Structure 1
Amino acid sequence: MKSKVSISIQLLLLLQYLSDLSVSQDFDFFYFVLQWPGSYCDTQRSCCYPTSGKPEVDFGIHGLWPNYNDGSYPSNCDPNNPFNQSEVSDLISSLERNWATLACPSGNGIQFWTHEWDKHGTCSESLLHQHDYFASALNLKQHANVLQALSNAGIEADGGSYSLSNIKDAIKESTGFAPFIECNQDSSGNSQLYQVYLCVDTSASNFIDCTVFPASKCLSHIHFPSF
């Protein structure tokens, strides 16, 4: 009888260990992704301002995404740990300013943050609990200060066309690391600055050199629309 009980306990411990492994850290770095709201809105699908009002004229956070060095990424790692608004209650006003939703119909951001945590954040929860995950992203945005970096280089959100290499150089000059720039098309079909990717270490504290970039291309000169 004792041997059977012992075996049962060992099996339970093994199952618990395997369960813990399934939600443990299993990624190489984060993509920290910032989105220009003027480019999100200046497309054929347009946008809707959040219920809290028009966001600030600044890059907004899209997400903090765990990734592998081979270009793939984990997702939806722990359905047993869904987004819980009460865990970030002290961050809500900052999230509304810096991580605003522009999807239609207008929302308060909860659906957006829920999606980002459930799909991406749960894959880093062994290192970052919910509050840490969102607080880290907010800190990274402040540290990157991309709009100011571009302005310092004479690159303004005025609808003009700018050199892609100059945009990258300006952000690298400010952060110390080369970004990846993603473009989309405006309502007239022009290529425009849409998202900025910076790579971050697994503690979500420091920018690092990217080992891989997403598969997307921009033209050599792109528009930077106003917002």
Structure 2
Amino acid sequence: MVSTSSLLIKLLVIQSLLVLCIARDFDFFYFVQQWPGSYCDTKQSCCYPKTGKPAADFGIHGLWPNYKDGSYPSNCDPNSPYDQSKISDLISRMQQSWPTLACPSGTGSSFWSHEWEKHGTCSESILNQHGYFKSTLDLKNKIDLLQILQDAGIHPDGRFYSLNSIKNALKGGIGHTPGIECNVDASGKTQLYQIYICVDTSGSNIIECPVLPNGKCTSNVEFPSF
């Protein structure tokens, strides 16, 4: 009887710790969009999704819960796997705005599954699976990064632009300072890769970033075509 009671108590403690882990507050989201030309123009290259070549536009990478100290939670609920049937009404929007570029060529489901299970489950107390993906798509509709840059004379034409001009254009268009991440093309040149925009914990309102990522950018960066 004692051993049974002891085991029950241990199980209850473990369950409580798991619930606390899942429910632990986060401070904000990073809404991250990537430029497909920079994803593809690397030594690793890319594969277009089975639906065909994506539009020459920034695509969604993810909506990532973060803490103000720069750390982030991940894989918060193994009991909440990705279930595409819950977002069937969003698939066409996701194929357009959230395309996979990983190899081998895919439908997007592996990419979306990874984003939900690593990041989405950590905001589950606020956004269920459908809410998580819909909120991310709605943010994409609010923010046309490519148009903002082109309005400032910054085009995906393979030319180099100053990092400050890119930051200033985006800040003017978004109303808040973005995080900018660069990667390296196949010939070793630094190029504009990802834009980080901070969003409050509701997943709907753009805010000033409490902390910005280390973007690994040089003072002038290439904006490759796609």
The normalised TM-score by structure 1 is 0.92
Could you tell me how far 1:20 is from its partner in structure 2?
Answer: 3.3
What's the secondary structure of 2:65's corresponding residue?
strand
Q: Which position in structure 2 is the counterpart of 1:66?
A: 65
C-alpha spacing 1:20/1:225, structure 2 compared with 1 (3 Å):
same
Cα distance in 2 for residues equivalent to 1:108 and 1:196: 24
C-alpha spacing 1:61/1:17, structure 2 compared with 1 (3 Å):
same
Cα distance in 1 for residues equivalent to 2:219 and 2:9: 60
Cα distance in 2 for residues equivalent to 1:38 and 1:75: 28
Cα distance in 1 for residues equivalent to 2:146 and 2:106: 25
Q: Counterpart of 1:71 in structure 2: which amino acid?
A: G
1:158-188 CA distance string (max 9 Å, x none):
1011111111111111110010110011111
Could you tell me how far 1:110 is from its partner in structure 2?
Answer: 0.3
Q: Which position in structure 1 is the counterpart of 2:90?
A: 91
Q: Counterpart of 2:111 in structure 1: which amino acid?
A: F
Q: Which position in structure 2 is the counterpart of 1:117?
A: 116
8 Å Cα contact 1:31/1:199 also seen in 2: yes
Unpaired runs of at least 5, structure 1? 1-8
Q: Counterpart of 1:49 in structure 2: which amino acid?
A: Y
Could you tell me how far 1:21 is from its partner in structure 2?
Answer: 2.6
Cα distance in 2 for residues equivalent to 1:15 and 1:163: 52
Could you tell me the percent identity over the aligned residues? 63
1:142 aligns with 2:141: yes
Unpaired runs of at least 5, structure 2? 1-7
Cα distance in 2 for residues equivalent to 1:10 and 1:75: 27
Q: Counterpart of 1:175 in structure 2: which amino acid?
A: I
Q: Which position in structure 2 is the counterpart of 1:201?
A: 200
Cα distance in 2 for residues equivalent to 1:151 and 1:85: 35
What's the secondary structure of 1:65's corresponding residue?
strand
Q: Which position in structure 1 is the counterpart of 2:48?
A: 49
What's the secondary structure of 2:23's corresponding residue?
coil
